[in-house]
Amino acid sequence: MTVPEHDSQPEKRRPQRPLPQERHRLIVAALEADGAVHVSELAPRLAVSEMTIRRDLVELERGGLLTRTHGGALPVATATPVVVDEQEPTFAARLQREHEAKAAIAAMAARMVRKCRATAIDVGTTTYRMADFMDLPRHAKVFTNSVRLAGRLVETSAEIYLAGGKVRPIEQAVVGPTAIAQFERLWFDIAIIGVAGITPNGLFDYAFEEVDVKRVYIQRAQRRVVLCDASKFHRVSLVQVAQLHEVTTLITNAEPPADLRAALDAARVDVRIAPPVVDPLDTTLGTRDPGPSL
């Protein structure tokens, strides 16, 4: 009898997939060894799909063995408690807080937009402070829904475009369907976003109407840069703005806690730590009127 040619070759065996219990053991072991695990890395190592790994992480979290983040998981012991901000402080009160950190962050953000032709800048105290450091070239275009910021930037050589619509008094932010419709038609080189808090689950802010505009900035910009000082780590407010993977860069003044840093790395967010700067408002911050000059 002639033996078929294919029978004479040694059979190629596929890599054996670990059973669920063994996968769970390996995931926990990797977590203990590395301090964090990522779905995209675990799937090929364990020869299963990313969906299977996500289901494994859900089961392990239910068992109290880890804390899930976007794109992975952290040990339970390293998960920092989250603080919920129930009330929105006034603009003047927020402008006083962490003013050295905000100046450093604003200065770095101002350098990033210097060569951009079309820049979108959100409302907020840190974005407002960018006006103290911006050196915009002639014909650069800045789009904003902040009445305060527009009032300061009109003194520069750049072209300033303020959205039309309803003005929300506490922030002096232009919001509503008219503002959204105007900016939805545009494409920005870069968008600078202010937030009230950041956790491994995403970015948060106080007001629905302002968040609607923030989401337009994020959707219509090539680079999406979040400004957030360290006092806002692990804080949430009423509305989620976006998940971490929807932004490209975080500018802050200190290294994020381990669980937040792992989540940012998993979302491929470029974290930049702003060095201290000489704050031009150090002697005037307490007396300056943050109102509009339009």
Domain pair 20-77 / 84-273, same fold: no
| Residue type for position 216 | V
What pLDDT, on a 0 to 100 scale, did the predictor assign at position 83? 81
238-248, pLDDT tens digit by residue? 899 999 999 99
Average pLDDT, the chain: 88
pLDDT band of residue 219 (cuts 50, 70, 90) is: very high
| C-alpha span between 149 and 135 (Å, rounded) | 14
Helix-, strand-, coil-residue percentages of the chain, each rounded to 5: 40, 20, 40
Predicted confidence (pLDDT) at residue 221 exceeds the cutoff of 90: yes
Reported as a pLDDT band with limits 50, 70 and 90, residue 77 is low
> Which pTM does this prediction carry?
0.74
CATH top class, domain 84-273: alpha beta
* Domain ranges (residues) in the chain: 20-77, 84-273
State how beta strands 221-227 and 188-194 pair. parallel
CATH of domain 20-77: 1.10.10.10
pLDDT tens per residue, range 111-153 = 999 999 999 999 999 999 999 999 988 889 999 999 999 999 9
Label the pairing between strands 270-273 and 235-236.
unpaired
